[in-house]
Structure 1
């Protein structure tokens, strides 16, 4: 088997593994292996092929890491509207109880059930509020 065939076979194996894991990092390493296959096709030496494959794979991985698809930002699920569709929804609160230290609590009907509602750093007046976060059975809200 030729050298370029070996490099290509390894790249195909990594692409298959990437399909099972769902991460793009294995795909970037496979791009590096394909660069090694191209170097082998043009009959560069084995060491040059390995260096080209590792450099291209490393650069591709670094570029992915810096892109929006490789973001290391972690979002709290309790505040992320992509995880919890209640975030950003509004509800009506009629009566607030002052707990002191700028903390107000209430009970309000939301989606057919009674919820504990908490408002911080703002005075509690009857009206519409937007859900900012969900902690267990408690809705943290802010004024609309």
Structure 2
């Protein structure tokens, strides 16, 4: 069997396994295996084929990991109005406690409200941004 055929078969197996498992990284490794196949088609030796496959596949994984870390994370499901109907509602805070919480009446019950880290608490109208446990995370309105 030709060396390039072996590389293409390995790349196909990696893609098939990726389809079953759902890991994107196997597609990147399959890209490296395709680079090894191209190197074999160009007449490179086995060592050069392995280096090409490792550099392209490993480089793609490192680049994807780096790009993934630089992207902002998806918003929390707790901050989605479609998940939690309290998000977006308005409350009035009369006084903040020394521990950074406030006790508010909301929907006929007593709730604890908290503000975002680094935000100076203020009294008045606030909008519910998300639920954190059983606390309302609020932003000034």
Tell me, yes or no, whether TM beats 0.5. yes
Unaligned 5+ runs, structure 2:
none
Equivalent residues, number: 133
Aligned partner of 1:91 in structure 2 is 89
Unaligned 5+ runs, structure 1:
none
The correspondence for 2:132, drawn from 132, 135, 144, is: 135
TM-score scaled by length of structure 2: 0.74
Q: Does 1:54 align with 2:51?
A: no
TM-score scaled by length of structure 1: 0.73
Equivalent positions of 1:1-144 (< 5 A) are: 1-67=1-67, 70-71=68-69, 75=73, 81-84=75-78, 85-86=80-81, 89-94=87-92, 96=94, 98-109=96-107, 114=109, 116-120=111-115, 121-125=120-124, 127=125, 129-144=126-141
Query: Does the Cα contact within 8 Å between 1:93 and 1:108 map onto a contact in 2?
Result: yes
Separation (CA, whole Å) in 2 of partners of 1:15 and 1:82: 31
Q: Greater strand percent: which structure?
A: 1
Give the root-mean-square deviation of aligned CA atoms. Answer: 2.9
| 1:40 shift after superposition | 1.4
Separation (CA, whole Å) in 2 of partners of 1:17 and 1:72: 28
Structure 1 runs of 4+ aligned residues shifted over 4 Å read 72-75
